[in-house]
Amino acid sequence: MSHIFSDYGWINSWKRGRSVDAQGEPIPWFTYPAIDFIKQLDLRNLSVFEYGSGYSTLFWAKRTKRVLSVETEKEWAEEISALAPPNAELIFTNRAIEAYANQILERGIFDIIVIDGTGDSRLRCCRIAPKHLASGGFIVLDNSDLWLESAAVLRNADLIQADFTGLAPLNSHWHTTSVFFSRQYSIKPLEGYQPHKSAAQPAEPWPLA
């Protein structure tokens, strides 16, 4: 457990009250297995649409070409906007389900769509998101173990579901972050190999025979 608490930065995030890793770098409020998976991908030329801003916005902005994030909490939006680089844009809106979920409608197609915002909007977001997903990309649904109908909507949109269950920053319990892949999924791994070693794996990869 010491690897989880120290190497992954769980203690650091708990002390700071923000979703960060052991080095203080922003990470999404996803499970650590989901973060490990995403970190190993080459996302440099991709675009992201986020339902729900946060330190995840800063994480995506560092790795992708463009991030567009929807937020309903004014003070939180101002905090993230002050930290965000030029390739990240925050959209402030109200909590009305249609107003919130429909923010993506006039904004085109995205390689990655993240559904991690207001709880009552998630089902509607899941119904809209697949129509705005680029061929070859994926959708992330956080807390999917609590939003089973939302997960089913994405699965029934002919997307392939992979569940990443584990501990997450700031949480004392396990939960599930699910990734729903386009059947044309084509994102390459960084450095040409996959999987990358996790922060909690002390050994080096074994050499090929």
CATH number at residue 176: 3.40.50.150
1 lies in a domain?
A: no
**Per-residue confidence at 5, pLDDT binned at 50, 70, 90?**
confident
43 lies in a domain?
A: yes
Q: Give this prediction's pTM.
A: 0.95
197 lies in a domain?
A: no
**Per-residue confidence at 205, pLDDT binned at 50, 70, 90?**
confident
167 lies in a domain?
A: yes
Q: What is the pLDDT of residues 122-143, one digit of tens each?
A: 999 999 999 999 999 999 999 9
CB 71 within 8 A of CB 52: yes
Position 2 pLDDT exceeds 70: no
Position 197 pLDDT exceeds 80: yes
**Per-residue confidence at 153, pLDDT binned at 50, 70, 90?**
very high
Q: How many domains does the chain have?
A: 1
**Per-residue confidence at 186, pLDDT binned at 50, 70, 90?**
very high
CB 44 within 8 A of CB 25: no
- Say which residue, 122 or 2, is predicted with more confidence: 122
Give a three-class secondary structure readout of the chain. Answer: CHHHHHHCCHHHHHHHCCCECCCCCECCCCCHHHHHHHHCECCCCCEEEEECCCHHHHHHHHHCCEEEEEECCHHHHHHHHHHCCCCEEEEECCCCHHHHHHHHCCCCCEEEEEECCCHHHHHHHHHHHHHHEEEEEEEEEECCCCCHHHHHHHHCCCCEEEEEEEECCCCCCEEEEEEEECCCCCCCEHHHCCCCCCCCCCCCCCCCC
69 lies in a domain?
A: yes
Give me the domain span that covers residue 178: 28-185
122 lies in a domain?
A: yes
**Per-residue confidence at 209, pLDDT binned at 50, 70, 90?**
low
Location of structure tokens 């330190």:
55
The proportion of the chain whose per-residue pLDDT surpasses 90, expressed as a percent, equals 85
Could you tell me the maximum CA-CA distance found in the chain, to the nearest angstrom? 57
20 lies in a domain?
A: no
112 lies in a domain?
A: yes
